[in-house]
Structure 1
Amino acid sequence: MPVPVPRQRGVPVAETDRGSACAAGSSSGGDLTLLVIEDDPAGTFTVPELLDAAGTRVRIRTARNLTEAERLLTDDVHCILVDLALPGPGEEELAPLKHVLRLAPRHAVLALTTSGDAERAAEAVRVGAQDHLFRDELDGRLLSRAIRHAVERKRADTAQVKLAESRLRAQENARLERGLLPTPLLQGSDLRFAARYRPGRSRALLGGDFYDTVRTADGTVHAMIGDVCGHGPDEAALGVELRIAWRALTFAGLCGDELLSTLQQVLEHERESEEIFATLCTVDIAPDGRRAGLCLAGHPAPLIARHGRPAQLLPYDDNGPALGLLPRARWPRRQVELGAAWSLMMYTDGLIEGRRGPDAKQRLGQDGMVEMINRQLAAGLEGESLLEAAVSEVRDLNGGELTDDVAVLLLSRHGARR
């Protein structure tokens, strides 16, 4: 029996207008497009469009089977009305509806049946339809209202799903953050610790930079900072693996070349491509705090500031290659005299690769960074304040967000600037 949808007066809609229907939306009175899937040979929906009391124009397309529906299901369709009596694939209960839900997961879907089949109509909503309509009770006003409500309900459902996904991503990022940016283990040490991290990707929480600091049973403080090439979640995950491996190997007594050679094996086994590499800087500070061993694997040299003296880069001429570049590389360990009072700043290259000014083409570089840190030290900045000012100034000089990740770690001893 044909559904008694009253004929509405209106201007026929050209096919070229349909592409803008989706953008028009429904909450602000924009036009909607309904795709009807039903096999009534008499043509139940004989009008090209409806106009409801709110002024919303509903354009109607009809398909006699699921195959034709797939052809007519374009991006400008807002809602699909599925006849539950339609023949569907297989013997599955509500097979046509379930097929449409799989085919159009982002569209609002209404189920059409008879008032004598209320249980089936309710089941249609349970499996995913936004609402159901009874064929023998349907008129133009009810149909228009049901379409608008279904579209808004689908939008609300989609927003809820996105919110849940966002929360899950935040939880995953928090777990990654605990892996990349751990709490330092410095119990019993007189060294002070500070760190700052800023990812390079827009809206990202994490990148490929990582660091760690631990104190072993003999009183030695070990610190490292590293950078996996790239900025995505895969690089962040690899950074977590390298940091955890470094901590485990350090507690196992490895140091210098032996430690870095083992970390290279970890990298080679865990990376997705042979083109992936990582730079690393490791420092082991003697229990008396006056000297340290330094190893660099393709990484910029740390900066040291001794009390009453300008900050400068630690001299290091025998820098080993980045991890993952050469299969039998070596990383010599160099002894460095620190003195009685000092601050040691380790950083990734994101801190020095920004521009010297918004309109400048020249990179800040290590020399520019040293000048900047000395200005901030002269202004009395230290510890967390020093790192915050350094990262903020680098961003301001660059004229906006940096394209690379930035990690900075600061260790200080006995009242030195930190």
Structure 2
Amino acid sequence: MDRVGAPPRDGASGDAPPPPGPPETLTILLVEDDDADALLVTELLSRAGVLADMHRARRVTEALSILDDIRVDCLLLDLGLPDAVGLGALETVVAHVEALSVPPAVVVLTGDTAITAGTWAVASGADDYLVKGEVDGDRLGRALRYAILRRRSAAQQLALYRSEVRAAETMRLERALLPEAVVRDDRISLMVGYLPGGSGLLGGDFFDTVERPDGTLMIVVGDVAGHGPDEAALGASMRTAWRTLVLSGADPGEILPLMERVLLPERHGPEVFVTICQVVVTPGRDAMDVYLAGHMSPLLATRTGDGDGVECTQVTVSTRGRALGIPARGGWEPSRVELPGSWTVVLFTDGLVEAKVTGTDGSTAPDAHDRPPRLGVSGLRSVVASELARGSHDVVPRVLRRVRTLHGGPLADDAALLLAGWDTDADAGPAERTSTLADSTEWGRA
């Protein structure tokens, strides 16, 4: 049936304003086998000023087929059809409508004048009920508009509820990536942070710190390739596996091979891999072994000779291993790094170094393809050094905010940052322990 409609009638008084309704043209499916009644409905809608893209079906089966092909705002249903009569027709239509991604409103239009008929129709899933012989254009238009608005309001409430549930699930997964460290030595400072990317999708970044009974300090940062709940759940599993192996007393050199054995059956596809940086600090705090599995080596920050500045360098390693899950030969050997008297080791994931420098604070010229440059490891070193020079208090959120500012908004990828430090001054008191999950409203506006 061709599109019909007419502009709103003039002369509407201020005492009786027309019912509110969406201004756009509405897509309406009329399920009516009587040609005269179908023509009457079309005329009534035109008189009511309803701009409608009309479609018609003469049977319930035909109506269901149309609903599968096009998106309908409202379905006008006669209860006396050749292939279904009474509430049976309504129940069939409602069951089909509720299974659609965007369910249309359902208004019953019938000749049944029984008082209870409307109650039963609404109880069976209709949004409204009208008697053919008792309806005019205004009443039909009003019922149609209100039914559509009620249906859309219900859809919005459902979407809001689902969004809140997803947000709660996301929070639980993110907090699984922000564990409570198991470190007894109160001279070890530990400051960690996790910054979700701006896409709204979870990533698989994870980190953890455990001190063994002999004083060995074990630190890990890892990144599961990809984004989404599967990757986030795998990241949490990897962190749990690492902590379990550390607490069980596994040799540091055996941890990465055993984690790969956990990864292979847990990942959802052969293309998924995990990069890891594992640091093992000796009980004397004078050396550390660095294990790299496709990950960037950590930074090492120390005070300058005058004590007023901070020097931050990337640790030079002699061996690098492949990422976990990559089908290639080779294992993971440690690189021994000597540590000075006081130090801070900085572990991070690539969400930080891949940030684009678009702000004025430390930005550089675009590259040859007119793209903003990446922050890179050198840029992160500079940010960490300058923020540590201002003091260790809240250094992780300060670094994350600084990188975010340079990027000009939310980062494209999740970012994890872990700073573990040691001070030779035994009289300095307990070292700082902080954790930051950048999920607050304040971070969302920043």
TM-score (norm 2): 0.78
- Output aligned runs, 1:316-335, within 5 Å: 316-326=317-327, 329-335=330-336
Counterpart check, 1:298 vs 2:299: no
Once the two structures are TM-superposed, the CA of residue 100 in structure 1 deviates from its matched residue by: 4.4
Question: Could you tell me which residue of structure 2 aligns to residue 382 of structure 1?
Answer: 392
Deviates more, 1:132-141 or 1:144-153: 132-141
Deviates more, 1:139-148 or 1:90-99: 90-99
Question: Could you tell me which residue of structure 1 aligns to residue 175 of structure 2?
Answer: 178
Question: Could you tell me which residue of structure 1 aligns to residue 370 of structure 2?
Answer: none
Question: Could you tell me which residue of structure 2 aligns to residue 360 of structure 1?
Answer: 366
**Equivalent position to 1:64, from 58, 65, 69:** 58
Q: Is the 8 A contact 1:179 1:244 kept in 2?
A: no
- Shift in alpha-carbon separation, 1:267–1:85, aligned structure 2, 3 A: same
The CA distance in 1 between the partners of 2:5 and 2:147, in whole Å, is 24
Once the two structures are TM-superposed, the CA of residue 95 in structure 1 deviates from its matched residue by: 3.9
What per-residue deviation string (whole Å, max 9, x for no partner) do you get for residues 74-98 of structure 1?
Answer: 6563211122333557999444433
Once the two structures are TM-superposed, the CA of residue 184 in structure 1 deviates from its matched residue by: 2.2
- The letter for the 2-side match of 1:84 is L
- Shift in alpha-carbon separation, 1:328–1:136, aligned structure 2, 3 A: same
Q: Secondary structure at the match of 2:399?
A: helix
What per-residue deviation string (whole Å, max 9, x for no partner) do you get for residues 179-229 of structure 1?
Answer: 22223233454322222222334233x312111122334443322110111
Question: Could you tell me which residue of structure 1 aligns to residue 206 of structure 2?
Answer: 210
Question: Could you tell me which residue of structure 1 aligns to residue 442 of structure 2?
Answer: none
Once the two structures are TM-superposed, the CA of residue 302 in structure 1 deviates from its matched residue by: 1.0
The CA distance in 2 between the partners of 1:329 and 1:377, in whole Å, is 37
Question: Could you tell me which residue of structure 1 aligns to residue 244 of structure 2?
Answer: 248
Once the two structures are TM-superposed, the CA of residue 130 in structure 1 deviates from its matched residue by: 1.9
Question: Could you tell me which residue of structure 1 aligns to residue 193 of structure 2?
Answer: 196
The CA distance in 1 between the partners of 2:82 and 2:240, in whole Å, is 57
- The letter for the 1-side match of 2:137 is G
The CA distance in 1 between the partners of 2:419 and 2:56, in whole Å, is 68
TM-score (norm 1): 0.82
- Shift in alpha-carbon separation, 1:178–1:402, aligned structure 2, 3 A: closer
Q: Secondary structure at the match of 1:48?
A: helix
The CA distance in 1 between the partners of 2:366 and 2:6, in whole Å, is 60
- The letter for the 2-side match of 1:317 is S
Q: Is the 8 A contact 2:21 2:146 kept in 1?
A: no
Question: Could you tell me which residue of structure 2 aligns to residue 23 of structure 1?
Answer: none
Deviates more, 1:113-122 or 1:89-98: 89-98
- Output aligned runs, 1:102-251, within 5 Å: 102=98, 104=100, 105-119=102-116, 121-187=118-184, 189-204=186-201, 206-251=202-247
- Shift in alpha-carbon separation, 1:152–1:35, aligned structure 2, 3 A: same
- The letter for the 2-side match of 1:304 is L
- Output aligned runs, 1:334-349, within 5 Å: 334-349=335-350
**Equivalent position to 2:81, from 52, 69, 86:** 86
Q: Secondary structure at the match of 1:46?
A: helix
Identity rate of aligned residues, in percent? 37
The CA distance in 2 between the partners of 1:339 and 1:168, in whole Å, is 48
Once the two structures are TM-superposed, the CA of residue 40 in structure 1 deviates from its matched residue by: 2.6
Once the two structures are TM-superposed, the CA of residue 366 in structure 1 deviates from its matched residue by: 1.9
The CA distance in 1 between the partners of 2:41 and 2:393, in whole Å, is 73
**Equivalent position to 1:396, from 382, 400, 405:** 405
RMSD of aligned residue pairs (Cα, Å): 3.2
Deviates more, 1:172-181 or 1:108-117: 108-117
Q: How many pairs are equivalent?
A: 394
Question: Could you tell me which residue of structure 2 aligns to residue 3 of structure 1?
Answer: none
What per-residue deviation string (whole Å, max 9, x for no partner) do you get for residues 2-54 of structure 1?
Answer: xxxxxx9948xxxxxxxxxxxxxx73544434321122354344353546898
The CA distance in 2 between the partners of 1:282 and 1:134, in whole Å, is 74
Q: Secondary structure at the match of 1:152?
A: helix
Once the two structures are TM-superposed, the CA of residue 276 in structure 1 deviates from its matched residue by: 1.4
The CA distance in 2 between the partners of 1:39 and 1:129, in whole Å, is 19
Q: Is the 8 A contact 2:274 2:323 kept in 1?
A: yes
- Shift in alpha-carbon separation, 1:234–1:100, aligned structure 2, 3 A: closer
Question: Could you tell me which residue of structure 2 aligns to residue 15 of structure 1?
Answer: none
Counterpart check, 1:32 vs 2:26: yes
- Shift in alpha-carbon separation, 1:153–1:333, aligned structure 2, 3 A: same
The CA distance in 1 between the partners of 2:109 and 2:365, in whole Å, is 63
**Equivalent position to 1:265, from 247, 261, 266:** 261
Q: Is the 8 A contact 1:194 1:383 kept in 2?
A: no
Q: Is the 8 A contact 1:209 1:225 kept in 2?
A: yes
What per-residue deviation string (whole Å, max 9, x for no partner) do you get for residues 204-256 of structure 1?
Answer: 3x312111122334443322110111122222121111111111111111242
- The letter for the 2-side match of 1:141 is D
- Shift in alpha-carbon separation, 1:216–1:57, aligned structure 2, 3 A: same
Q: Secondary structure at the match of 2:203?
A: coil
What per-residue deviation string (whole Å, max 9, x for no partner) do you get for residues 109-164 of structure 1?
Answer: 11234555554543433343222223343222221111010011011100011011
The CA distance in 2 between the partners of 1:295 and 1:45, in whole Å, is 78
**Equivalent position to 2:417, from 408, 413, 417:** 408
